[in-house]
C-alpha cells in the first residue's frame, strides 16, 4: 500500500496502518520476504514500504550528526572486537580471526565515514566562504576589476586591482 497514491483519507489511514505494521515487523528483524508472507502482500510492496520508511527517517536526521553517530558505533564495535580478540585463547584461531575480521570491517566503516565527513566539512566551509565573499561584494566592500588574461606576458597588477575599499593591500 502506497500512502502517496491513496485516493481518500480512509485509504491513506489504511496505508499508514499497513506501513506501521511493516515497520514493526522489520524492527523485529524479520526479512522483507517473510513480512510479505505474513501480511499476504507482494514482496515488492513491502520493499517499497521499507524504502519509504527509511526515506522518512533519513529526512528528519541531519546527515553530519547521523554519520557522527555511526562513526561512534563503528568505533564501539571495533573496541568490543579487540576485547573479544584478547579474551579468546590463542588456540581458538577461528574465533580470533573472526574478531580481527570484525575489527577490520569496523575500521573500514569508520574510514569511509571520516572521509565523507571530511568532504562535507570542506564543502560547507567553501560554501560559507562563498557566502561571505558575496556579502562583501554586495555590500560594496570588495571591488573587482578586469582579470589578467595571460596573453601579454606582463604582470598587469591583478592583485593590486583586487582590493577592498578600505585600501587593504593584497
Question: pLDDT tens digits, the chain, 170 residues: what are they?
Answer: 555 554 556 677 888 888 889 989 988 888 889 999 999 989 998 988 888 888 777 666 676 777 788 888 989 999 999 999 999 998 988 998 999 899 998 888 888 877 776 666 667 667 777 777 777 777 776 665 555 455 555 544 544 544 444 444 44
Neighbour count for residue 93 (Cβ, 10 Å): 10
**H/E segment holding residue 122:** helix 93-138
**All residues at 6 or more sequence positions from 51 whose CB lies less than 8 Å from its CB, including other chains:** none
pTM of the predicted model as reported, rounded to 2 decimal places? 0.38
Amino acid at each position: 500500500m502506497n500512502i502517496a497514491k491513496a485516493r481518500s483519507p480512509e485509504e491513506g489511514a489504511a496505508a499508514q496502518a499497513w506501513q506501521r505494521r511493516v515497520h514493526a515487523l522489520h524492527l523485529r528483524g524479520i526479512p522483507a520476504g517473510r513480512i510479505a508472507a505474513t501480511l499476504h502482500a507482494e514482496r515488492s510492496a513491502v520493499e517499497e514500504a521499507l524504502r519509504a520508511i527509511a526515506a522518512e527517517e533519513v529526512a528528519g536526521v541531519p546527515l553530519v550528526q547521523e554519520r557522527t553517530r555511526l562513526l561512534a558505533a563503528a568505533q564501539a564495535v571495533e573496541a568490543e572486537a579487540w576485547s573479544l580478540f584478547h579474551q579468546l585463547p590463542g588456540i581458538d584461531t577461528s574465533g580470533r580471526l573472526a574478531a580481527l575480521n570484525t575489527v577490520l570491517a569496523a575500521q573500514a566503516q569508520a574510514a569511509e565515514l571520516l572521509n565523507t565527513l571530511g568532504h562535507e566539512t570542506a564543502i560547507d566551509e567553501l560554501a560559507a566562504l562563498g557566502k561571505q565573499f558575496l556579502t562583501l561584494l554586495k555590500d560594496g566592500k570588495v571591488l573587482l576589476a578586469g582579470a589578467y588574461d595571460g596573453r601579454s606576458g606582463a604582470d598587469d597588477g591583478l592583485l593590486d586591482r583586487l582590493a577592498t575599499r578600505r585600501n587593504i593591500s593584497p
